[in-house]
Structure 1
């Protein structure tokens, strides 16, 4: 009565592998040019600036203290005079 015959449907063409991966590749390329590349340039600029610090330069620490470099120990360590003569 309410039974309809089920007919075999033809299998549709599967999408090409390249077409299915293309959106992920495009997203990665966009992220590279908008995020990764500028960060590398900024990091390189920061490293050049930090390696150029010499004795007598005035610097601002991460905590906001302003001081004068009295000794450069190595690339990662400085001795700073904060001028606290009080």
Structure 2
């Protein structure tokens, strides 16, 4: 004696399959959201950085990943030589160059920092010279007596 008909059993199994696909829709939606909000923008930034690194040339002003500002003196296949101060050069990986600065940026930054140091150094030098002159005049006065 059979209580359940074959047609009824088949109908129940098709509703379960449809419910399984509907349960996967939120997961697919999350994957699409991650792609457009995270993966795609990151890939775009990586592509732009690669193009910028390949286009580096002598004289460009850059910032490294470590925050060091300088001007490129020489570019090789994997490395760049950057002048960070007069007569101070460092060699870094090309890929560690983070930002390409507009021309003249370093010149607009340097004078403010250098002028205060230079004025302080000149003031110290002039104080030392005036103290030395005073001592010399005292010595010559002592010799005269």
What interval of TM-score do these two structures reach, taking the shorter chain for normalisation? 0.7 to 0.9
Give the distance between the partners of 2:58 and 2:64, measured in 1 at CA: 15
Give the distance between the partners of 2:65 and 2:38, measured in 1 at CA: 24
Q: What's the TM-score, normalizing by structure 2?
A: 0.46
Out of 39, 55, 60, the position equivalent to 1:57 is 60
Give the distance between the partners of 1:14 and 1:41, measured in 2 at CA: 41
Q: What's the TM-score, normalizing by structure 1?
A: 0.72
Q: How many residues align?
A: 75
What CA deviation, in whole Å up to 9, does each residue of 1:27-75 have, x standing for no partner? 101110111111111111111111111011111122222111111111x
What are structure 2's unaligned runs of at least 5 residues? 1-11, 89-145
Q: Which one has a larger percent helix, Structure 1 or Structure 2? A: 2
Give the distance between the partners of 1:30 and 1:61, measured in 2 at CA: 32
Give the superposed CA RMSD.
Answer: 2.2
SS in 1 for 2:56: coil
Mark the structure with the bigger radius of gyration: 2
| 1:14 corresponding residue in structure 2 | 16
